[in-house]
Amino acid sequence: MAKFSILDLVFINEGNSAKEALANSVRVAKAAESLGYHRIWVAEHHNFPSIASAATSVVIGHLAGHTKTIRVGAGGIMLPNHSPLVIAEQFGTLESLYPGRIDLGLGRAPGTDQLTLRALRRDAMNAQTFPEDVKELLAYFEDDENQLQVRAIPGMGTHVPVWILGSSLFGAQLAALLGLPYAFASHFAPGALMEAIAIYRKQFRPSLYLDKPYVMVGVNVIAADTDKEAEFLFTSSQQSFTRILRNMRGPFPPPIENMDSYWSPQEKQMASQMLSYSVVGAPETIKVGIKKVLDETKADELMTVTSIYDTDKKIRSLEILANSVTE
């Protein structure tokens, strides 16, 4: 049976602060743990007025400190923004504080715009060395059998599980080559999903980390007691993606009654394509939709994204999904 996990984008809602967003994320993590979700991840985004997880490792530590058993990790750290050594030290520290509960997902994109990238003092060309940087980072987590001159302390010997994240074929090929688990960002970029999964499974090489392919698929899940309510709640995500197309930034918006009055036909088509890997509806609709995703992808794990403005309704959505997949 596939595992179910959560990507929490730590949204800063309209009218709320980052402090409230982080408090809401703790509520979600605690609920996820009680409902039996396998892991909860947060992601590195910079200069996004709607996302409070820019200091990703700090947020992970905060969530881990408020939970007891659920795995907590990065989905992901954008490695070109950092030196591998610093990330190894950060996640080695997290693993030392919360043994057996920390994950490290790695992305190749900057997770921001070019102006912010310069503010981070990073070079856009850093992405070109991503494969070598991943290998360097993996070495920092291993036992010190090779007597490395530079060691991650903490980090050395912690064996933090590393994932490759992606929305293209590049990540699939790298994850297969290194024998690492692979997570596809189909919750916002589903276009190459099936081809990437096929390449990863075909080219996978067993490694010290994994003896067979392990695929995680991202899917938006908005569940409510009725289809109509779920579709209403989903308009927050639809507005958010429309704003991306308009190059507008702002806090996460509350739902609205009529999306057709908000977006143009072209925006509707483009945003709906980005959000096509979404399951929205009442419990039975969710059950059918999740089965369809699993039948199509044969995923080992689903990373669900529940972008709902009201935290109580978000937790209710998580309850409905958990009940739907255990019945």
Asked if pLDDT for residue 322 goes beyond 80, the answer is: yes
Spatial separation of the C-alpha atoms in residues 163 and 56, rounded to whole Å: 16
Question: Is residue 247 in a domain?
Answer: no
Share of the chain above pLDDT 90, in %: 85
Tokens representing 313?
A: 């309704």
> Can you give the pTM of this predicted structure?
0.94
Helix (H) or strand (E) holding 303: strand 301-305
Q: Could you tell me if residue 208 is inside a domain?
A: yes
Does residue 112 have a pLDDT over 90?
Answer: no
CATH code where residue 102 lies: 3.20.20.30
Tokens for 253, please give them: 């918006």
User: For residues 210 and 299, what is the distance between their CA atoms, to the nearest angstrom?
Assistant: 16
pLDDT at 126 over 80: no
Does residue 321 sit within a domain?
no
Residue 233 has pLDDT above 90, yes or no: yes
Is 270's pLDDT higher than 60?
yes
Which tens digit of pLDDT belongs to each residue from 28-54? 999 999 999 999 999 998 888 999 999
Q: What is the mean pLDDT of residues 158-169?
A: 95
**pLDDT confidence of 215, banded at 50, 70, 90?**
very high
Whole domain around residue 107: which residue ranges? 3-220+277-306
Q: Is the pLDDT of residue 122 over 70?
A: no
What pLDDT shows up at residue 115? 75
d(CA 299, CA 222): 19
pLDDT of residue 7: 98
Tell the residue number behind the tokens 């927050």, with chain if given. 236
Q: What are phi and psi of 150, to 5 degrees?
A: -110, 125
Judged on CB neighbours under 10 Å (0-12, 13-18, 19+), 253 is buried
pLDDT of residue 109: 77
The answer as to whether 318 is a domain residue is no
For residue 245, is it within any domain?
no
DSSP 259: G
Domain count, the chain: 1
Per-residue pLDDT, 146: 66
CB contact set of 310 (below 8 Å; sequence gap of 6+): 233
- pLDDT at position 125 is 66
Residue 207 lies in a domain: yes
Q: Is the confidence at residue 127, as pLDDT, over 90?
A: no
Which pLDDT tens digit goes with each residue over 282-308?
A: 999 999 999 999 999 999 999 999 999
Residue 112 domain-assigned? yes
Q: Amino acid identity, residue 14?
A: E
Report yes or no on 197 lying in a domain.
Answer: yes
How far apart are the C-alpha atoms of 220 and 187, rounded to whole Å? Answer: 6
Look at residue 114 in the predicted model and tell me its pLDDT: 73
